[in-house]
Amino acid sequence: MRIRTRLFLCYFIIVAAGFYYLVDWILDDLRPRYLESVEESLVDTANILSSIFTDVLAEGTEPAEAFRHTFEDVKKRRFSARIYEFEKTHVDLRVYATDSEGIVVFDSDDGRDEGADYSQWNDVYRTLAGEYGARATRTDPEDPSTTILYVAAPLRSGENTVGVLTVCKPLLSGNLLIRGAQQKIIIVGIAAGLSVLLLGLVTSTWITRPIEKLTQYAMAVRDGKRIGLPDLGNSEIGVMGKALDEMREALEGKEYVEQYIQTLTHGLKGPLSAIRGAVELLQEDMGPERRGRFLRNVEVETARLQRIADRLLLLASLESRKGLRDVEDIDLVRLIGELIESSAVHVSSRKIDLTSSPEKAYLVRGERFLLYHALHNLIQNATEFTSEEGAIEIAITESDMIDISVMDDGPGIPEYALDRVFERFYSLQRPDTGRKSSGLGLSFAREVAELHGGTVSVQNRPEGGVKASFRLPQSPVS
């Protein structure tokens, strides 16, 4: 499992659990908080009505009759009060009063329970005992939405409690408000949770992105690709990336020196042996013609040593580079035309044909010097393996990349050598002279192609000869 996935899963579990318990706690706590606010307002209402009821009683007026007319008038009233999403159209408050024995003497609900004994109801019983009296009772024991809240206040005559006044409030409308609030809380909780999870996904991506870049860099180095250290920032991952890059350079430098010592020794061994043999023979008595032949061998092998040294220096400087320098847009048709016309690849007895679409400009971004010499090596190889009266074909085609194909009609590459032609100093004998080249041309071409983000390959043609393909990315249209 990827680190990003692990981080997100852990974050998801923590956030989901946290939001679940938070929303669940809020939903569970919402009803008690609502009941508290309703009860608090009912306490005020009960005490106010109790005071009014007591004042009427002190005046000698029958309080039950006075209150009855008031509540009948209230029941007749119709109004519309929009309370958030709930619309209230009538008063649902009920009031009843008892005497000092707990017998109901007034009931605002059309006198429904007048004469009933409420002395054992908690609101009446506790108030008559001088305590705070309240209760919550369901008209349907199985349905919590039928709960009615009762809050009582004492009726006093001087210091004596002569009765109880209770205010009753059905919680049906409150339940509607609670359900609406609960739905909003759930929706907001889900939206907030998803937002936090999205933030967590972005955060986990932000944290793990440098790790993924570093992993891709390490895998590219493992596969031998030419790649620079990506931008990892200044965090601990960035410091680790720089340390790995420095370690890679140190290891590659050590391996590079060892490898070049071996290849240089191998490459110089042949020419040096030939020169040494020729020098030993020149010390003997021989005719001028034979001496001249050995001197020419020494001259040829010395020139070969010089070419090896020059190409090794060029290849070494190329392999140590991580990017291009003097980059420009290069017209490949024009560049190859210059190569064909140059004396370096021109052989009068061999025909070189260039095929491309005349109305297209094949442009690439790169270093002219490097591309010139890389393509020169491919064309030079084709020239050396083509018969005296043969032909060399160069074709430029375009698909996802620009492909420069150099084809000869020579004997082809032996099967045993196909996998080794890009090795340093590996070379095959030329058909016309029997000599070998420095064996560095194709290595140089491959380094140039990879430095430009391209590839180079060689393969035998079914009709005979070899096809070398040099592929480069197209120059972006400006």
Most confident among 211-225, 357-371, 458-472 (mean pLDDT):
458-472
What architecture is the 328-472 domain classified under in CATH? 2-Layer Sandwich (3.30)
The burial of 389, by beta-carbon neighbours within 10 Å (0-12 exposed, 13-18 middle, 19 or more buried), is given as exposed
Write down the domain spans for the chain: 3-180, 249-319, 328-472
pLDDT band at 134 (very low <50, low <70, confident <90, very high): very high
Please count the helices (runs of H) and the strands (runs of E) in the chain: 9, 14
**Average pLDDT of the residues in 315-344:** 74
Residue in this structure with the two tokens 């196909």, named with its chain if needed: 418
d(CA 295, CA 278): 7
pLDDT band at 24 (very low <50, low <70, confident <90, very high): confident
Using CA atoms of 250, 251, 257, 258 in order, give the dihedral in degrees to the nearest 10. 160
Using CA atoms of 179, 181, 183, 184 in order, give the dihedral in degrees to the nearest 10. 170
Cβ–Cβ under 8 Å, residues 118 and 133? no
Q: Is pLDDT of 337 > 80?
A: yes
Under DSSP, is residue 451 helix (H, G, I), strand (E, B) or coil? Answer: helix
Instruction: Report the topology of domain 3-180.
Output: Beta-Lactamase (3.30.450)
Q: DSSP string spanning 409-426?
A: -S----GGGTTTTTSTT-
The burial of 283, by beta-carbon neighbours within 10 Å (0-12 exposed, 13-18 middle, 19 or more buried), is given as exposed
d(CA 18, CA 189): 11
Q: Which pLDDT belongs to residue 22?
A: 77
Residue in this structure with the two tokens 């009063």, named with its chain if needed: 97
β-pair type (391-398, 351-355): parallel
Class of the domain covering 249-319: mainly alpha
pLDDT band at 220 (very low <50, low <70, confident <90, very high): confident
Residue 42 structure tokens: 């009912």
Q: Report how far Cα 58 is from the mean position of its chain's Cα atoms.
A: 81
Q: Is pLDDT of 107 > 80?
A: yes
Q: Which pLDDT belongs to residue 344?
A: 45
Cβ–Cβ under 8 Å, residues 471 and 402? yes
CB atoms under 10 Å from CB of 149, counted, come to 19
Element (H, E) at 368: helix 368-385
How does pLDDT run across 401-454, given as a tens digit for each residue? Answer: 899 999 988 888 888 888 888 887 677 777 666 566 667 778 878 888 888 889
Of 202, 229, 226, the residue nearest 213 (C-alpha): 229
Q: Is pLDDT of 476 > 80?
A: no
Q: Which pLDDT belongs to residue 254?
A: 47
Using CA atoms of 64, 65, 69, 70 in order, give the dihedral in degrees to the nearest 10. -40
Q: Is pLDDT of 160 > 90?
A: no
| Proportion of the chain above pLDDT 70, given as a percent | 78
Q: Which pLDDT belongs to residue 152?
A: 95
Positive or negative, the CA dihedral 333, 338, 343, 348 is positive
Q: Is pLDDT of 223 > 50?
A: yes
Q: DSSP string spanning 232-260?
A: -TTSHHHHHHHHHHHHHHHHHHHHHHHHH
Residue 446 structure tokens: 């491959």
d(CA 354, CA 365): 21
- Amino acid at residue number 71: F
Of 278, 272, 271, 283, the residue nearest 293 (C-alpha): 278
